[in-house]
Amino acid sequence: MMAGNGLEIFELLNILDNLKHLKRTGWVHFNVPEPETVASHMYRMAVLAMSLEQKLPHVNATRCVKMALVHDIAEAIVGDLTPRCGVSEESKFSLEEKALLQIASYVPALTGQEWIALWREYEAATTDEAIVVKQLDKLDMIAQAFTYEQKHGIDLSEFFTSTVNIFKTEPFISWDKQIRDKRSAIVTAKSNKNKQSE
């Protein structure tokens, strides 16, 4: 389905509403109370992308913001598919691309074409902007895992072990280290407290 010529507002509103209420699968699997939604995940990524304009002058921050806001938009139709869902990467890509083409048909043609191009660029991860947004996606995930561990006392170590050394550029390497160092300090403090109470 190709991008349309007009704005089908009710279809677009429904898509965005789905994203506002679609809980992220990873947190649901770990029984996190009141887990974040796909829309809230993309929103925080977009704001972080805005903050990078002066830190990464060689990167088009506006393009990163747009990419962050559409990179998971297909999940409004296909859901948040993770490796635990038993769907191959090839099938996931195909399902999401088909969904994105449908969503793009709800907006004016040029807008829809831009959304499709941004999503494909993100998936290919070959441009500076796509690489930045990919790293923002992972950074938001470990930051959220850290928050949930502190808030709910849930062990979400899996999200940290699966992302060791995943960040390749600054400021993501430093930000990742800050989160991990803070987490390690809290874990150590709790361990020492438990030993003292024994």
Q: Is the pLDDT score of 121 beyond 60?
A: yes
**Whole-angstrom distance, CA of residue 100 vs CA of residue 135:** 22
Q: Which two tokens stand for residue 10?
A: 């009710």
pTM of the full structure? 0.91
Answer for the pair 118, 60: CB distance below 8 angstroms, yes or no. no
Mean pLDDT of the chain: 94
- Residues 133-161: what's their mean pLDDT? 97
Answer for the pair 9, 133: CB distance below 8 angstroms, yes or no. no
Q: Is the pLDDT score of 1 beyond 50?
A: no
Annotated domain spans of the chain = 9-197
**pLDDT-derived band of residue 4, with 50, 70 and 90 as boundaries?**
low
Q: Is the pLDDT score of 7 beyond 90?
A: no
Instruction: List pLDDT tens digits, range 50-104.
Output: 999 999 999 999 999 999 999 999 999 999 988 788 888 999 999 999 999 999 9
Instruction: List pLDDT tens digits, range 17-29.
Output: 999 999 999 999 9
CATH classification code of 9-197: 1.10.3210.10
Answer for the pair 45, 140: CB distance below 8 angstroms, yes or no. yes
